[in-house]
Amino acid sequence: MLIIPAIDIKEGKCVRLREGQFSDTEVFSDDPIKVALNWADKGAEMLHIVDLDGARYGKLTNISLVEKMIKKMSIPVQVGGGIRSYQEVKNLINLGASRVILGTILWKDKTLAEKLFEDFSEKIVAGIDARDGYVAIEGWQNVLSIDALDFAGEIERLGARRIIYSDIKRDGTLKGPNIKNIEKMLKNVNIPLICSGGIASLNDIKKLKKIKDSNLEGIIIGKALYKGRIILEEAL
């Protein structure tokens, strides 16, 4: 089971949002590169980097910083946030990103998404963000009347090899993951799943690991690491 530290970047800083709200932001570091190196030094096997400004405005905004982070890392890095074109995906992979996360375009341009799944295979991850069970896009600001479970099945049929499932209402709250919804999602798809949102303790990780007959591949952890609620070395 991969334990993946999250590094969310807003205006060049490492931050955490609460429930996907840009108005509720907590800054943890002015130096995301230093943060990334720290998690790698502590044994992280992969990093999850999101350009929050990119997600919000629909274009990669902190790309020069993200590029520097990728080049500094000796471990795989998956990158998301505002990636809306074939060329952006290709550029990130050429820069050294191990995986590129697609979100909004999964809904807005299924033809492009299918082409990216076909051309880049395992290097593309489908990011499904859900608020109250419904798909949220465009930096979590627009909630569609599309059930996240149904959408996941559709995206798998389009050719996705892997899904990151995020529960926005739990994200940044330290309230614990929504185990029931994660279990439903796991039963709904046949491809590897990485979950995110609300993980607050080692006990939460243990509960997720205990899900039977599971295709759960990894757990993304953010605020709990930054607040010291989870010590990375103990979670690995």
pLDDT of residue 213: 84
Catalytic residue among 8, 53, 167, 171: 8
- Is 129 known to be catalytic? yes
Burial class (CB in 10 A: 0-12, 13-18, 19+), 24: exposed
Domain count, the chain: 1
- pLDDT of 15-57, one tens digit each? 999 999 999 999 999 999 999 999 999 999 999 999 999 999 9
Stretches in the chain below the pLDDT threshold 50: none
How, if at all, do strands 21-29 and 134-137 pair? Answer: unpaired
Structural domain boundaries enclosing 88: 2-235
Cβ 50 vs Cβ 203: under 8 Å: no
**Residue 57 to residues 62, 164, 177: CA-CA distances in angstroms?**
12, 21, 28
pLDDT of residue 188: 95
Neighbours of 157 (CB within 10 A): 10
Cβ 93 vs Cβ 70: under 8 Å: no
pLDDT of residue 219: 99
- How much is the pTM? 0.96
Catalytic residue among 41, 53, 119, 129: 129
Domain of 105, CATH number, reads: 3.20.20.70
Q: What is the CA radius of gyration of the chain?
A: 16
- Is 8 known to be catalytic? yes
- pLDDT of 71-85, one tens digit each? 999 999 999 999 999
